[in-house]
A = this chain, B = another copy of it.
Amino acid sequence: MKLTMLYSFLKADIDLIEKELEMAISSSSPSLRDASLHLLQAGGKRIRPVFVLLAAKFGDYNIERVKNIAVALELIHMASLVHDDVIDNAELRRGQPTVKAEWDNRVAMYTGDYIFARALEYMTEIEDIEAHRILSNTMVELCIGEINQIKDKYRFDQNLRDYLRRIKRKTAILIAASCQIGAISANVPKAVHEKLFQFGYNVGMAFQITDDILDLTATEEELGKPAGSDLWQGNVTLPVLYALEDEQLQARIVQVNKHTVKSDIDDIIHRIKQSDAIDRSHALSQRYLNRALTILDDLPSNRTKKSLRDIARFIGKRKY
């Protein structure tokens, strides 16, 4: 079972969006186009466009109009990935021979800026200023989330509140905004689009918690990167926070730093998996999903509601 199967009835519209994304990042500058296309072809679940479309189904669904909003939201997500990559390149550079030339990293930074700006151009297809306010607030929170993620690295004295605030900013708000702005673009009434924001927020929280669990429990093949990369890079995730409550585990985890070797990380991950940290993390993810499902109960009944319910449930169970 794959997530994409849950929204297969949207396939034609998603394909349109895929084409438009390609158009969006085709620029007169060849190096810009190459860098962006590379990113686009790497694919992705297109979760944000899917939520834009499904939310718009609560109103006057017009694919030609809502398409622009879906493209805008996915471009913002892509731009933030590009800026994450700028950083990753910087780190790889330290030890690896596959060093990118200095100006490649600069171009990557401006490519991210360019994709952001293109997203804003697409957004102007929607005239409702409230949508623009939601998006700009979202982008502010996203940036603060990214900065906090950097600052909180290897800080093992942080608490659950720090973690939840960070994933809210980093992930949940953009999914919430996708739902709400998608709805606004289809003239969905305020009472409904505000609920869709809350739905997206709770699903987004569960989505990120699940991601953080999978980083420890999935295989390298499933993840496309070594398991435990988060901990190795100093990102303190929910299972790690729970594991820190165990004194013996805590003594091991707080030793982790930039110089920790892979075998130590593997051993710590093994112990975390033997503790109750994973189960407790799943439980918190489930609480967010339950809230999302409760919010759906208040929304007008239609076929879309069932899809949103299926997607929310899937997110809680997905294996990668």
Contact = CB atoms under 8 A, between A and B. Distances in A.
Interface of A: 27-29, 31-32, 83, 86-87, 90-91, 102-103, 105-107, 109-114, 116-118, 120-121, 123-124, 127, 129, 132-133, 135-137, 139-140, 142-144, 146-148, 150-151, 153
Contacts of A87: 106, 109
Given A103-B153, A124-B129, 18 more contacts: A27-B144, A28-B144, A83-B109, A83-B113, A103-B151, A107-B150, A112-B113, A113-B142, A113-B146, A117-B140, A117-B142, A117-B143, A120-B135, A120-B136, A121-B136, A123-B136, A124-B133, A127-B129
The majority secondary structure among interface residues of chain A is: helix
- How many copies the complex holds: the figure is 2
A83 B123 CA distance: 23
Contact of A114 (B111, B120, B143): B143
A103 B150 contact: yes
A146 B110 contact: yes
- Name the 5 nearest CB pairs between A and B, nearest first: A117-B139, A120-B136, A114-B143, A121-B136, A117-B140
9 contacts: A27-B144, A32-B144, A90-B102, A111-B147, A113-B139, A114-B144, A123-B132, A124-B136, A129-B129
